[in-house]
Structure 1
Amino acid sequence: MPQPKLAPVSEDGEKLVGADRVLGVLVELAGHPAGATLDELARRVGSPKATVHRALGALRRAGLAGSDARGHYILGDEFLRLAFAHHEARPEHVRVQPLLQRLAERFGETAHYAVLDGRSVVYRAKVDPAVGAVRLTSTVGGRNPAHSTAVGKVLLAYRLTTRADVEDWAGPEPLERRTAHTATTARQLFEQLSETRARGYGVDDQENEEGINCLAIPLFLTSAHQPSGAVSVSALAYRTPLSALTDAVDEVRRILAETTGHVQTA
């Protein structure tokens, strides 16, 4: 999926300067796994080449950026070491990984663990099936809109309990339409969240990606009242229909209990 961008101007309309510009270059660099030239980076962050070159110098001195044999700038090994060390040290990642592995093996589809961050979900862990994996918009550390994903809706259901809550969260503009099936109004989203709370799990019926459906269940790893995140099974609709996932929700709950010690009920 597209990497999050730190735009040439900040939220208050000011141009990026100083540390913000260095961070802007770092975030932009993360969106170019094959590397990017100085010209490309300067154009993308909207800053002079000399300024971007100084930002890259600061990143290189810290080991957060480097260059390849073609002279393209890439993320540095120290950045990758820090990112992976931090990811591996997360207690939730350690606890959830066996669950995701079992779900991916059971359904032959991709399993995720995601958390809510504002209007998006952020994927903290992901396990693909041994065979038949497909390319999804979800990547570890990546984001998708909360309102169009099963994990997002199951987490929002605990945060937005009234119509007013949903309207405040959604704002005056229509929600992003990811597919023809996406709920784009506060009324539609409120109805979906109410259904999600009632049944204890969330669904995505090709609402975030065409041809992909999903079942999600909340996980309460740090609190008995608010989920720390949600696990999901994302499947090819023609291979594993949504009905096959929802019919197996009790089995998913059993696997969850066996691997995490947490019992989730509807």
Structure 2
Amino acid sequence: MQHTQPFPASTAPVTDSAEGDRLVGSDRVLAVLKELARHPDGVSLEALTRAIGSPKATVHRALAALRRAGLAGQDSRGRYLLGDEFLRMAFAHHEARPEHVRVRPLLEALADRFGETAHYAVLDGREVVYRAKADPPAGAVRLTSTVGGRNPAHATGVGKALLAHELGTLDAVRQWIGEAPLERRTPRTPCTAAELHRELRATRERGYALDDQENETGVNCLALPVYGTSPTVPSGAVSVSALAYRTPLRTLVEAVEEIRDALGPLKEPLR
């Protein structure tokens, strides 16, 4: 789960119609904000202009608005980056999320028990978004996944654990895929409707989801849904993500009941 995409840029076309001036202006400000998030070391006005595809003066006005709100700043080199107020709000909001508060101790316990990374993720369309993460004790090789990062749902254990509840038939899987093909992250990634349907059916039957180096070669995981807000609909999924050479998939499968028990009141059979 190392290759994550924290802030995908919008690909929506921008128009300059007079009727939509206010909306377009807001869209551009948000596009600049999202692009800043992709450059933790800062980015020049010229690079921002190229990335956004708007005139330099327009981007500069958007930056000025963000700076007035404390959502953007400028370093000593003149490069733009996210402002301290944005970071304060983001971290405060993240720490206050009810599921984050409840799940974090579980992730830490799992990371300590297996010496591997534990994640909590939610489904967002065709992707999963990582809401919390616990790394193994100091000294162990760690994954580079990040809170806020994204991965394709069909290629991940957490994604399949959640999709198994939503896509119960082959027709449902086909409709979910639609016209956009599924990305093949590794040779093992299920990329057809039939392959994904088989994976989701197996997930329901055994009660947990697996990622057998399907999202990234050398990394596997076991995932279980968690029920933080409803006894029947999962609010997200928890996974233990491991380096395959260090913790083979069979080791995680043999410990599935231990992992399930660690979820405490958030666990529920995946049936």
TM-score (norm 2): 0.92
Following superposition, the deviation at residue 37 of structure 1 comes to 0.3
Output the CA distance in 1 between the equivalents of 2:266 and 2:71: 39
**Counterpart residue number, 1:122:** 129
After superposition, give the CA deviation of every residue in 1:19-42 in whole Å (9 maximum; x if it has no partner): 000000000000000000000100
Structure 2 counterpart SS, 1:240: coil
* Aligned with residue 210 of structure 1, among 209, 217, 223: 217
Output the CA distance in 1 between the equivalents of 2:63 and 2:121: 32
Letter in 1 for 2:150: R
Output the CA distance in 1 between the equivalents of 2:83 and 2:75: 10
2:194 aligned with 1:160: no
Contact 1:211 1:237 in 2 (8 A): yes
Following superposition, the deviation at residue 134 of structure 1 comes to 2.2
After superposition, give the CA deviation of every residue in 1:158-189 in whole Å (9 maximum; x if it has no partner): 01111111000011343100111101101100
2:67 aligned with 1:63: no
Structure 1 counterpart SS, 2:111: helix
After superposition, give the CA deviation of every residue in 1:117-156 in whole Å (9 maximum; x if it has no partner): 11110100001011313233x3101111100000000000
Aligned length: 259
* Aligned with residue 133 of structure 1, among 118, 133, 141: 141
* Aligned with residue 52 of structure 2, among 45, 53, 56: 45
Following superposition, the deviation at residue 44 of structure 1 comes to 0.5
After superposition, give the CA deviation of every residue in 1:66-87 in whole Å (9 maximum; x if it has no partner): 0111111010000000000100
**Counterpart residue number, 2:20:** none
For structure 1, which runs of at least 5 residues remain unmatched after alignment? none
Letter in 2 for 1:38: L
Output the CA distance in 1 between the equivalents of 2:53 and 2:14: 12
2:185 aligned with 1:174: no
CA RMSD between the two structures: 1.3
Structure 1 counterpart SS, 2:221: strand
- Choose between structure 1 and 2 for higher RCO, CA contacts under 8 A separated by at least 6 residues: 2
Output the CA distance in 1 between the equivalents of 2:255 and 2:99: 24
- Aligned pairs (5 A) from 1:74-89: 74-89=81-96
**Counterpart residue number, 2:21:** none
TM-score (norm 1): 0.94
